[in-house]
Amino acid sequence: MIKKLAAYIGEFKKDTVLSPVSVTLEVILEVLLPVLMASVIDNGVEAGNMGYVIKMGAVMLAVAMLSLLAGTMSGVFAARASMGFGRNLRKAMYDNIQDFAFRNIDRFSTAGLVTRMTTDVTNVQNAFQMLIRMFVRAPIMMISALFMCVSISPRLSMIFLAALVFLGCVVGFIVTRAFPVFNEMFKGYDRLNASVQENLTGIRVVKAYVREDYENKKFCDATKNLKDLNVHAEKLVVMNQPVMQFTVYSCILLISWLGAKLIVVDGTMTTGQLMSLFTYTIQILMSLMMISMVFVMVTMARSSAERIVEVLNEKSSLGNPDSPVYEVKDGAVQFDHVSFSYSDDEDKCVLQDVNIDIHAGETIGIIGGTGSSKSTLVQLIPRLYDVLEGTVRVGGRDVREYDIETLRNEVSMVLQKNVLFSGTILENLRWGNKEATEEECRHVCELAQAHEFIEKMPDGYHTYIEQGGTNVSGGQKQRLCIARALLKKPKILILDDSTSAVDTKTDSLIRKAFAEEIPDTTKLIIAQRISSVQDSDRILVLDQGRVAGFGTHEELMQNNEIYRDIYELQQKGAGKDE
């Protein structure tokens, strides 16, 4: 895990090295100050030599200034290295997520990925900064100060040995107990983020069904769970501070008592040496406190690091072949004994032995009940998922032979859940073709029956679309998404129930435009209304993941009971509405 993360230090290796070098210089200079102070007291103050006091005072001032400069530079280098490291981690995670297949995305919740890219990366970069600065400073300071203490008084130095053993046991106890709690705590953050995201995304539904109280309770439960985990973790971590203070004051008292005896009774120690021992005592124990803080931070960061590495190690289940094909001949589609399961379990196939042959330029309607895997079927064409058994061919070739980007550029999909991004209408349309002119955008909007309502907007095609398309209606959003798909000029166009929010007249005009303007494009139209597909060249009827019928409207009315039942029910419903 450490090796994996270290690779993302990247161009900040120089700062990563310079920070500990600078902090080492800072520590060496700090350790010299008590020695110089002892010399001032013993040889200047007690001897009444003011010239010596002034000279050594100037030396101490220079040493202190150099130490300050080294410490400042260490802080700058550490901040630059840690922030750069965090940036590289976020970018690497984001880039890897962009390559995920739908199967990979299904493994992680959206809220979990957001937490990993924000809270978890922040924890890791903070721990990294502490490691290259505090975790270098503290041991060097402690060892240097211990060496100076031993050189002054080996007997009194034994006090620090006892303190080190005691504090080592306490820190070990905290780290081993706190790690599992921190691990669970970050899962709590995932649950909290999921609750907030779901509520904000579906706020209109919440208000429509007056479910604010339910959502508030769900949010409060998530925050209470997170609070309890935080409190549990803090109960363990909070032990660190009082134990450290107890140890510091105990050491000072013991050194004061024993040091005074060595000065007054034995005469083996000077006043200046005792004063320097006090300073070294503080340095040693502050170093121990830093080390314990680093251990606590690293313990917390370890959970975050594991979650980050989990995303970085996740490899897309889809990939290009060794010699990919970069040209799609036409929009012909064949499903050859295709079976598919989301879990790779043959006993849980949602599509079973699908055999259909679609000619280039055909318009194919797809009808079936809820859960009949209509959307799953069409998602196999641009290789959003790979088949479990059988073969899907586009342009006469297995889709697994194509370069993925090439294949997807020739297949336009308008999904069930229409997504618009924050930006102008033109910016959203140009997702289909970033080089498209405004005239080309207008033309596809005319085909998708979107031009009329766009012209009525305050800024026309430059009208700003809010995040998620909240300032346009469902039908308008669908038509904009269809226009965006048409702008790709694809060989295959897939509409996954994409005209459900438009009226039948507009639906008919869109289908008429397709027939006249893009006759060579293969069109697959998933719909709930038979009126939306009955004029198609052929209609595919799916039932529980199997092909129940495939033919023209007239053929299916004669030979397919499922299709006939759906048609008659819809006709009766239409009659009642009238």
Q: Using one digit for the tens of pLDDT, what is the confidence trace for 169-178?
A: 777 777 677 6
pLDDT value at residue 117: 87
Q: Which residue, among 366, 403, 291, has the nearest Cα to 536 in the 3D structure?
A: 366
Q: What digits encode the pLDDT tens for the residues 466-480?
A: 876 777 888 888 888
Cα separation, 32 vs 537, whole angstroms: 90
Q: Which residue, among 110, 70, 116, has the nearest Cα to 198 in the 3D structure?
A: 110
Residues facing residue 390 across a β-bridge: none
pTM: 0.66
Cα separation, 466 vs 94, whole angstroms: 23
pLDDT of residue 265 exceeding 70, the answer is: no
| Contacts of 338 by beta carbon, 8 Å cutoff, 6+ apart | 351, 353, 354, 355, 380, 387, 389, 390, 391, 392
Specify the higher pLDDT residue, 564 or 251: 564
Specify the higher pLDDT residue, 173 or 96: 96
pLDDT value at residue 501: 67
End-to-end distance of the chain based on CA atoms, in angstroms? 67
Q: In what order do the strands lie in the sheet with 333-340?
A: 351-358, 333-340, 389-394, 397-398
Q: What is the DSSP letter of 530?
A: G
The total of other beta-carbon atoms located within 10 Å of residue 526's CB is: 26
Lowest mean pLDDT among 317-321, 407-411, 432-436: 317-321
Q: Are 283 and 145 in contact (CB under 8 A)?
A: yes
Q: What digits encode the pLDDT tens for the residues 39-84?
A: 888 787 777 788 888 888 898 899 889 989 998 999 999 999 999 9
> Quick one: three-class SS letters along 77-96?
HHHHHHHHHHHHHHHHHHHH
Q: How far is CA 413 from the centre of its chain?
A: 26
529-533 mean pLDDT? 84
Name the range with the highest mean pLDDT among 166-175, 340-349, 479-488.
479-488
Cα separation, 18 vs 14, whole angstroms: 6
pLDDT value at residue 578: 45
Q: What digits encode the pLDDT tens for the residues 206-241?
A: 777 777 788 888 888 888 887 887 777 777 667 767
Q: Which residue, among 376, 394, 405, 395, has the nearest Cα to 316 in the 3D structure?
A: 405
Q: What digits encode the pLDDT tens for the residues 183-199?
A: 677 677 777 777 777 77
pLDDT value at residue 89: 92
Percent of the chain with pLDDT over 70: 94
pLDDT value at residue 15: 92
Name the range with the highest mean pLDDT among 97-106, 107-116, 465-474, 479-488.
479-488
Q: Which residue, among 343, 367, 383, 405, has the nearest Cα to 540 in the 3D structure?
A: 367
pLDDT of residue 165 exceeding 60, the answer is: yes
Measured over the CA atoms of residue 280, residue 282, residue 288 and residue 293, the dihedral's sign is negative
pLDDT of residue 577 exceeding 70, the answer is: no
